[in-house]
Structures are given as structure tokens and as C-alpha cells.
Amino acid sequence: MNVKALVKQYLFLLLAVGLFTSCDEDDEPAPVLPKPTIDNIEVGLGNNGVGVIGRDFHLNADILAGDKIENVQVRIQQRSGETYSKVWQHEITWDQYKGAKNAKVHKHFDIPADAAEGNYDFLIMVNNQNGAKLEEKRSIILYEEKNLPVNPQLSIFNLFAKGEPFYWDGKFVNAGQKLQKGDVFNSQVAISGVKGDGKMYLLLINKKLNHRPESVEQIDFSKAIVYDVYEHKGWAAADFFTNSIFDPATFTPVRDFPNLTIGAANDNNAPQPSPVNGAKPWESGTYYYGVVYKNTTYDFSFFHYIELPIEMK
């Protein structure tokens, strides 16, 4: 075989090997990127999927990245087939979780004042640093405040110790004052703008327990000392709901707020009081005190807390 023939044969073999390798590489499947997962999603307070234009909106989600998180985004976008007063959408990107393997996303953000009422898709997007993505879609409805079916708002939030005002009109009567062991504690709370059926819990929770429920469903009663429980049923018109009711016609109380002694063995949970022990013993320190309300007729929640110092010496 002459040199020219050998060269041709060699080039043919190189070409054949190249084609085989190329085909083999093309047949290899693309690597599967591990995707993030998402759990415990709550869209709207109490997971009710309701937003109020110009007011706070609640989001909770537990994220586990397939690799590491690049960012987390939400987008509120209009749906085809729906009618709106104008074209509008909203997107937020949170970069604070970058590089984390997992994250608890607990956010409160305002629905912009220029939003249009209507039904929307609410998209939660998790982007990984490896390029993988996850998108979860939920449905929400945005209301103007004037069109809400119910509009729970705090109208009274007062505390008394030993029969004297302790917290009044949004501030402590004596700055730096603490509730003491043995003090008889009372509180009147009123919520306006409610009807149908609803229930309120008034709670004391040691701040160190890192438990601050924003809906009735979130209350962990092993951590919460219940000061009061009260409910309304079948209200046809919106009214004030309070745990202390006085009849001006007879000048007598219909329901008076209960007593709770700081250091008591049991709380005022209903129908059965709970022992104040285990994970929730009385201790010196800062407590959350607040109201958590759920309107079951319209699936609407409300909460409000202050920080309350207690001294058990």
C-alpha cells in the first residue's frame, strides 16, 4: 500500500471515530438538576388568599434548595378571561436567601396602592444557583378596603393590673413598669367591622419561645397562656366585638372581662383551663400579649401584639 493510500485510510478512521464519538455524546442525556422543593405555603393571613389594596399581605413558605438558593421571587399577575379596571402586575425579588440550602420565608409586604381589584395568579418562584427553578401557583383576590365583606380592625386594646390602668390608648401608663407575681391581670379588647361568626383568643406567650401566632390555626396551646376566649355567632350586620359587654339600658355588665393572676396554676382557656407548666411556666422576662381573631364565615383573620414585661420574683 502506498503512502497516499495509507493517509486516506488514516483520515477515514479519524472521521469515523469522530462521528461515533459525536453521536455517542449527542445520545447522552442532559444532567438532571436537583430542583428545590417548597412546603407549608400560606398565601394571605390564615392562608385565605385575600389581599387588601394598600395594606399588609402575608406569605409563608418553607424552601429546601436542590443545590443552593439564588433568590426567591413572587409575582402577582392578572388572568386571561378576567376583567380589571386597568393592566397591573407586581413582582418582588428577595436576595437575602442567596447561598442558603433551606429557608423559612415569612414575609409581610404591602399590596401597592395602584393595584386593581380582582382575581389574580400568585406565583412563588425559587431559583437555584445550579440553574434549576421551581414555580408554585396559587389564587388570590385583591379588594379595595371599602369592598371587603368584613374588615376587622382594632378599636380597644387596654390592660389593667390590680384594678388600675396598665396599658392604655396605645402606650404604657408608667414607662418601665412590670407586671408582678400575684398581680390580678385584666384586659378589654374590641374589634370593629365584623359580622357572621368569629372567635378571639387573648394570649400571653413568653417571647423566648419564639411563638407569635398570626392566625387561630397557628396557636400552639402548649406555649400560649390563654387569658380569654370569646366568640360571636350569626351577626347579620357589621358591629364591634368585645370581650367585655355592658348594657347601658340596665346599667349592668352582660359579660365582664375575666381575671388572671400572674403566677396562677391554670389559665382561662375554654371550655377547659390549661395548666401553666411544661413549656409555658411563669418566668421573669418579656411576654407577647395579643389578640388573635378568626372570622369563620368569611375566612378572615386578624392579630395584634404588644411586648409585656413580667417579674416573678
Verify that 77 and 189 share a domain, yes or no.
no
Q: Which residues pair with 157 in a beta bridge?
A: 189
- 136 and 163 within one domain: no
Q: Is 207 exposed, middle or buried (0-12, 13-18, 19+ CB in 10 A)?
A: middle
Buried-exposed string 100-124: b where 16+ CB fall within 10 A, e elsewhere: eeebebeeeeebeeebbebebbbeb
Verify that 213 and 284 share a domain, yes or no.
yes
Tell me whether residue 271 is in a domain: yes
Average pLDDT over residues 43-71: 95
pLDDT band with cut points at 50, 70 and 90 for residue 5: low
Q: What cell does 85 get? A: 379596571
Task: Indicate if the pLDDT at residue 263 is higher than 90.
Answer: yes
Q: With 90 as the cut, is the pLDDT of residue 157 above it?
A: yes
Q: Report cis status (omega within 30 of 0) of the bond before 271.
A: yes
In-domain check, residue 15:
no
Assign 34 a pLDDT band (cuts: 50, 70, 90): confident
Predicted pLDDT of residue 232: 97
My answer on whether 165 and 287 are in the same domain is yes
Span 76-109, pLDDT tens digits: 999 999 999 999 999 999 999 999 999 999 999 9
pLDDT at residue 67, as a whole number: 85
Integer Cα distance of 120 and 77 in angstroms: 6
pLDDT-derived band at 36, boundaries 50, 70, 90:
confident
Find the mean pLDDT for residues 252-272.
Answer: 94
- Position 7 scores a pLDDT of 43
Domain that holds residue 86: 37-147
Residue with the three cell numbers 400568585: 122
CATH code where residue 274 lies = 2.60.40.10
Tens digit of each residue's pLDDT (9 = 90 or more) over 179-190: 999 999 999 999
pLDDT higher than threshold 70 for residue 28: no
Whether residue 161 is found in the same domain as residue 270: yes
Instruction: Report DSSP letters for the chain, one per residue.
Output: --HHHHHHHHHHHHHHHHHHHHHHHHHSPPPPPPPPEEEEEEESGGG--EEETTSEEEEEEEEE-SS-EEEEEEEEEEPTT---SS---EEEEE-TTTT-SEEEEEEEEEPPTTPPPEEEEEEEEEEETTS-EEEEEEEEEEE-GGG-S---EEEEEEEEETTEEEEETTEESSTT--EETT-EEEEEEEEEEEEEEEEEEEEEEEGGG----SSGGG--TTT-EEEEEEEEEEEEEEEEEES-EEETTTTEEEEPPPPEETT-SB---SSS--BS-TT----SEEEEEEEEEEETTTTEEEEEEEEEEEE--
Out of 131, 147, 163, a domain closes at: 147
Cell of 148: 371587603
**With bands split at pLDDT 50, 70 and 90, how would you rate the model's confidence at 250?**
confident
**Quick check: is 103 in a domain?**
yes
Same domain, 286 and 187: yes
Q: Decide if 268 is inside a domain.
A: yes
Among all chains, which residue has been given the C-alpha cell 380592625? 153
Q: Considering 132, 147, 162, which residue would you say is the last residue of a domain?
A: 147
| Cβ contacts of 226 within 8 Å, gap of 6 or more | 201, 202, 203, 267, 268, 269, 270, 273, 274
Residues 257 and 157 in one domain: yes
119 shares its domain with 169? no
224 and 112 both lie in a single domain: no
Do 162 and 304 lie in one domain? The reply is: yes
> How high is the pLDDT of residue 19?
46
Q: Is the same domain home to 158 and 302?
A: yes
Lowest-pLDDT choice from 27-31, 64-68, 107-111, 293-297 = 27-31
What's the average model confidence in pLDDT over 42-67? Answer: 95
- Flag whether 21 is in a domain: no
Query: How many domains does the chain divide into?
Result: 2
Does a structural domain hold residue 10?
Answer: no
Q: For position 213, what pLDDT does the model report?
A: 97
State the greatest distance between any 2 C-alpha atoms of the chain, in Å, as a whole number.
125
Q: What is the pLDDT of residue 31?
A: 64
On whether the CB atoms of residues 305 and 218 are closer than 8 A, the answer is: no
- Is 27 inside any structural domain? no
Do 174 and 117 share a structural domain? no
Q: What is the pLDDT of residues 161-202, one digit of tens each?
A: 999 999 999 999 999 999 999 999 999 999 999 999 999 999
Cell of 302: 386578624
pLDDT at 12 over 70: no
In a domain, 18, yes or no: no
The pLDDT, as a whole number, for residue 64 is 92
State residue 26's pLDDT score.
55
pLDDT score, position 249: 85
C-alpha–C-alpha distance, residues 90 and 122, integer Å: 10
Rounded to whole angstroms, the Cα distance separating 63 from 36 reads 7
CATH of the domain at 113: 2.60.40.640
Handedness of CA 252, 257, 262, 265 (dihedral sign): positive
Does residue 24 carry a pLDDT above 80?
no
Q: Which of 13-17, 223-227, 265-269 has the lowest mean pLDDT?
A: 13-17
On the question of pLDDT at 251 being above 90, the answer is no
Using the 3D structure, point to which of 123, 147, 171 is the last residue of a domain.
Answer: 147
